[in-house]
Amino acid sequence: MFHNSQPQHPDQLPRPGEALSTDRRTFLVASLGVGFALAADPVMAQVITTPADGLVAGEIKIPTADGQIPAYRAMPEGAGPFPVMVVIEEIFGVHEYIKDVCRRYAKLGYLAVAPELFARQGDPLHADVKTIITDIVPKVPDAQAMSDLDATVAFATAKENKGDPTRVGATGFCWGGRMIWLYARHDPKLKAAVAFYGILGGKASPPTAIKPQNPLDFGHDVTVPVLGLYGGHDDNIPPELIAQMQAELKGTASEVVVYPDAPHGFFADYRPSYRPDAAKDAWGKAQAWFKDHGMVG
């Protein structure tokens, strides 16, 4: 098993429901933008657009430990309560692709919500790739993200917001895929989770003071069933790291599926990396995973 030489205890992160100790109230993103992230250009013709008919969909504000962050929510019309799906963004923020994923889940009967977890550090929607990967993403502390995800779940499952507190799941992509593993360890009450090509560790994600551990360091301790969906041709996550993660998960409720010919971002229909066959199969596996673990009947 691969383990970080800088041991950290899970108690360094806030426990579920525990506020993040911070007095910072500077939010650089107060509301969500429209369309696709600037850094995602060009947007490919095969992009999937899910209509909002029959849904309640749009921007909301989520109260957090130190202010409000914007988020996108989509859910069916009706009284609920609905199973909750927390959707965690890529490095490009809560742009049109992430909003569409929320609507896809809402069409399946979920209350889907995607919080803008970069709100304090910067606006990836209007930034170039260099700014995103040097000045925004690496400055988001894991503890902050865990606290904001707790706040998202608390908001969605409040009685007036129609989310079922006994059926909460999560899915994430790229940066959000890494967060899925962290949040599954952080909140063992999650029913299930699905990580799409989340960074596992290695050279792509060295430990830092604000990101002390990676999934390879604690995969064996995750009790929430997590399905990892990875590409065999992912330049950011080499096959040897995926194999290490599979070994780390032996004896747990989690597993990793590899699409041998798929690159990083194979599910992102707006990008050249999109692989329709792998994406279709992965979507089916994700829905079966959530169903098998009690999210939907």
- Spatial neighbors of 85 by CB under 8 A, at least 6 apart, are 102, 105, 110, 111, 112, 113, 169, 170, 171, 290, 295
Query: Of the residues 186, 264, 269, 293, which is catalytic?
Result: 264
Residue type, 22: T
What pLDDT does 11 receive? 35
What pLDDT does 30 receive? 81
What pLDDT does 206 receive? 87
Query: Of the residues 66, 174, 217, 293, which is catalytic?
Result: 174
pTM over cut 0.75: yes
What pLDDT does 10 receive? 35
Domains detected in the chain:
27-292 (3.40.50.1820)
Q: Is 183 exposed, middle or buried (0-12, 13-18, 19+ CB in 10 A)?
A: buried
What pLDDT does 13 receive? 45
What pLDDT does 155 receive? 98
Q: Which residues of the chain have pLDDT under 70?
A: 1-25
Query: Of the residues 66, 148, 234, 269, which is catalytic?
Result: 234
> Which tens digits make up the pLDDT trace of 167-188?
999 999 999 999 999 999 999 9
What pLDDT does 203 receive? 83
What pLDDT does 297 receive? 81
234 is catalytic: yes
What pLDDT does 205 receive? 85
102 is catalytic: no
